[in-house]
Amino acid sequence: MKILVVGSGGREHAVIRKLRENPTVTEIFALPGNGGIAADAVCVPIGARDIPAIRDFAVSEGIDYAVVTPDDPLVLGCVDALEEAGIPCFGPRADAAIIEGSKVFSKTLMQKYGIPTARFESFDRLDAALRYLETAALPTVVKADGLALGKGVIIARTREEARRAVTAMMQEGRFGRSGERVVIEEYLEGPEVSVLAFTDSRTLVPMVSSMDHKRALDGDRGLNTGGMGTVAPNPYYTEEIAARCMDEIFLPTVRAMNAEGRPFKGCLYFGLMLTEDGPKVIEYNCRFGDPETQVVLPLLESDLLTVMRAVTEERLDEVEVRFRSRHACCVILASEGYPEHYEKGYPLEIPEAVRPQVYVAGAALKDGQLVTGGGRVVGCTAVADTLAEAVAGAYAVADQVQFKNRFCRRDIGARALTVKEG
């Protein structure tokens, strides 16, 4: 089978490695992929948002199955376009990807169907938003409606900060059209858990839970990033909480999307907060998380392509989705300065011995040499019998990967280790 994977990050590298385990896979094309992914797939320089070019490539190359993982092509209708061209896909259509593409949509959905989430109001006029902030409880959370590269969420501790956030989004166009509408919501507290789930809109199968580390610096300080590291499973996510999430959040979400005439097929990502009042949804993503995927897929024992095709064909109930009862940790090596200004183009050395454990997120090939090409450069992953060993293993891999201006958090997994040892 000829497979196409749309995207270019560490998540896509992890998906490609896992897909390659299936013996029927003959060729994988990554659009556009990156210099590191080029070791595992044929990279074709077509941007992930260039949907007509993706479709034309898939048709002319005779692609048998396509996997679309980044948010923007999904929201822009990449799966719709490929399916119209007769190519079966993994990923939601645009009308379901809106669950991530619009926070006003997802918050309204949760409210309508009684799915636990932070209380909220949505606004499309600045004056109304500012008036609401005069009496809103603090801290308060301001979110741009649309996609904003994970940067459209501001936790405001003072009224002035909240007013500035709303004005920057709605009046100064800080996130372009994404910020024309905003959601202002209640501030929640508690441990965060990421749960990715396969769903074909009839059956939902949660994957092993994970914990992201979103802030740039140790001790959860510094700016929000795309994610600086992950561990799986998440020790806060007990069996009891998992059962509650299934009943109160996961299945109600699938049913709600069906009731709205927007059946969701693909990977649905639940960003949860375990509050004193029970688990609540912080956000939905319409795709695999990055870098959650880099710890979840190495723990997947079942064949990924078999599961994905079952999702596409709406027979997820017929396949087995099994995870190893082990632990995984992924440490991101980033370029100094990320998530703001950073330099790239420095030689990137990944010793042969650790290559299977390294997922390349941002790199290019320059005259045959791998060079850094992004804020997040690589994710170093280890799987072990205990969390402590997985964390030590991931850092041991990270220590062997070299490039100039390299930086990472030194405390990935530290909080999880305080909860439970192995």
Options 32, 150, 222, 278; binder of ligand AMP; rule CB under 6 A: 150
Options 12, 145, 200, 290; binder of ligand GLY; rule CB under 6 A: 290
Verify binding: residue 100, ligand GLY, rule CB under 6 A. no
Restricted to residues 207-236, the positions that interact with ligand AMP (CB under 6 A) are 214, 224
* 412 vs 212: CA distance, rounded Å: 9
Distances (CA, A) of 112 to 108, 202, 258, 316, 386: 6, 20, 13, 27, 41
Judged by beta carbon distances under 5 to 8 A according to partner kind, the member of ligand AMP, ligand GLY, none in contact with residue 282 is ligand AMP
Judged by beta carbon distances under 5 to 8 A according to partner kind, the member of ligand AMP, ligand GLY, none in contact with residue 195 is none
Distances (CA, A) of 248 to 7, 143, 182, 233, 376: 32, 24, 26, 21, 35
Minimum separation from the CB atom of position 369 to ligand AMP (A):
35
Judged by beta carbon distances under 5 to 8 A according to partner kind, the member of ligand AMP, ligand GLY, none in contact with residue 192 is ligand AMP
Instruction: Specify whether the CB–CB gap between 222 and 215 falls below 8 A.
Output: yes
Instruction: Specify whether the CB–CB gap between 231 and 193 falls below 8 A.
Output: no
* 411 vs 422: CA distance, rounded Å: 17
Residue 149: which of 405, 280, 338, 17 has the closest Cα? 338
Comparison of 159 and 215: residue with beta carbon closer to ligand GLY = 215
SS3 content of the chain, % helix, strand, coil (to 5): 35, 30, 35
Restricted to residues 95-134, the positions that interact with ligand AMP (CB under 6 A) are 118
Stretch of 72-80, 128-136, 149-157, 380-388 contacting ligand AMP, by CB under 6 A: 149-157
Instruction: Identify the bridge partners of residue 232 per DSSP, sorted by sequence position.
Output: 328
Comparison of 213 and 309: residue with beta carbon closer to ligand AMP = 213
Stretch of 127-135, 285-293, 314-322, 403-411 contacting ligand GLY, by CB under 6 A: 285-293
Verify binding: residue 289, ligand GLY, rule CB under 6 A. yes
Options 102, 203, 285, 312; binder of ligand GLY; rule CB under 6 A: 285
Judged by beta carbon distances under 5 to 8 A according to partner kind, the member of ligand AMP, ligand GLY, none in contact with residue 290 is ligand GLY
Comparison of 7 and 227: residue with beta carbon closer to ligand AMP = 227
Other Cβ atoms closer than 10 A to 16: 25
**What SS3 state is found at 230?**
strand
Helical residues (DSSP H) of 140-250, grouped into ranges: 159-170, 239-245
Minimum separation from the CB atom of position 249 to ligand GLY (A):
17
Verify binding: residue 292, ligand GLY, rule CB under 6 A. yes
Interface residues with ligand GLY (CB under 6 A) are 150, 212, 227, 285, 289-290, 292
